[in-house]
Amino acid sequence: MPISFFSRKPRETPPQPVVEAPRPTQALYDPDLVAALTRQHRDMALLLDKAKNSVQAGHYEDVKALLDQLGSEITVHMRRETDELHAYLTVRIKSADRLTVLKDMHAGALRTLRAVEGFLKHYGGYPVNERNAGMFYKEIDGVSAEFKKWIGQEENSIYSLYKPPETY
């Protein structure tokens, strides 16, 4: 006669230790945050323009340093947006449609970040020189356009949602 799974006695398992869920950090309002993030956007866009101008002027040795600096600044910027801006907005915004906009913009930022990082990684491994300057010039135009589009959308939609806590 086969044994039924329903008639089996459960094995005794030792009690599992109680682990507390991590407590969310307090998302505080910083009245200077949007201005600082916007300034970072301008600085990063300027680095892209400087890299393009360096190639146009034939100063290939300057490009790698500019792209390295851009990579560092993007990392710092994204961390600050995630830790401060997005954390604050996620706590404060209660309507589902605004949260959807926030999630969509965060996903768009990550897509743009991956594209820029791919560009930076490529030219970090294959530095710009006379031979690939034409391709770099075309590619940096595309990266710059995508980056500037992203920051424009972010500043117009997400940054406008960041307000003092009493306004929610």
Structural domain for 131, as ranges: 33-161
> For residues 40 and 70, is the Cβ–Cβ distance under 8 A?
no
Q: How many domains, the chain?
A: 1
60: exposed, middle or buried (Cβ count in 10 Å: 0-12, 13-18, 19+): middle
Domain with 116 in it: what CATH number?
Answer: 1.20.120
Distances (CA, A) of 18 to 15, 21, 57: 9, 10, 63
Classify residue 20: in a domain, yes or no. Answer: no
Classify residue 167: in a domain, yes or no. Answer: no
Classify residue 69: in a domain, yes or no. Answer: yes
| Cα–Cα dist 148/28, whole Å | 28
Looking at residue 21, its pLDDT comes to 43
pTM summary value: 0.79
pLDDT averaged over 10-residue windows placed end to end, the chain, 168 residues: 47 56 67 98 97 96 96 95 91 82 83 90 93 95 92 92 91
Classify residue 148: in a domain, yes or no. Answer: yes
Classify residue 21: in a domain, yes or no. Answer: no
Looking at residue 22, its pLDDT comes to 47
Looking at residue 97, its pLDDT comes to 80
Classify residue 27: in a domain, yes or no. Answer: no
